[in-house]
Copies of this chain bind each other. A is one copy, B any other.
């Protein structure tokens, strides 16, 4: 049963709680309360309780949550307990960075192949991941049952790449380009626009400096 009533902001906050709870475990703690989490992140305890309730967790008054149970519950809720394969398109600086990052293991997402149209990049191996020609994308995605596509190519190519992803059975796209390609409603599109973040910084500096 598809349940899309869970707020996106809840999903964004849960990895933060997860990370904090993992820190507590590393420090030897066994329990955590919603108040503790709320206090650490400077948000309202009711919000934390609501967020955790979505994962099926109900804390006990005073005691809170058993950390190991809470971690498992969040992992399970976020789908981090299942291994999801991802293809990345664009093996330039940003793409190579993401392939090389290796920090996504905890999320159960693993990049298994990269694609590019540039003959100079095809055939290269980045952090153990081979760069294939773009024309192999659909065939490989369908055969391997890949569901996640990451777009790190030039903005101009994003629309065409997204189209290829959709027809190749990709259901979730992580797009790093500033353009927002059209995708059918049942395909998830998550934008991470590095430019926009920088724009916030440079504009706010300008405001601070009173220009």
Which residues does A use to contact B, with CB under 8 Å? Answer: 1-4, 6, 8, 11-12, 14-16, 19-20, 23, 41-42, 77-80, 82, 84, 93-94, 96-98, 100-104, 106-109, 147-148, 155-156, 171-172, 174, 178-180, 186, 188, 190, 192-208, 210-211
Contacts and interface: CB of A to CB of B under 8 A. Distances in A.
B178 A201 contact: no
Contacts of A208: 2, 171, 186, 188
Contact of A171 (B1, B11, B97, B205): B205
A134 to B, nearest CB: 20
A44 B48 CA distance: 34
15 contacts: A1-B210, A2-B210, A12-B196, A12-B199, A16-B196, A78-B203, A84-B202, A93-B101, A96-B100, A104-B195, A104-B198, A107-B198, A109-B202, A186-B208, A190-B200
Contacts of A200: 8, 11-12, 188, 190
Chain A interface SS verdict (over half):
helix
Given A12-B193, A97-B93, A97-B97, A4 B207 contact: yes
List the 4 closest pairs (A to B, CB-CB), nearest first: A97-B97, A79-B202, A79-B206, A172-B201
Contact of A15 (B2, B42, B195): B195
A2 B211 CA distance: 8
Residue picked from A186, A188, A202, most chain B C-beta under 10 Å:
A202
A203 B97 contact: no
Contact of A178 (B15, B101, B190): B15
Contacts of A109: 198, 201-202
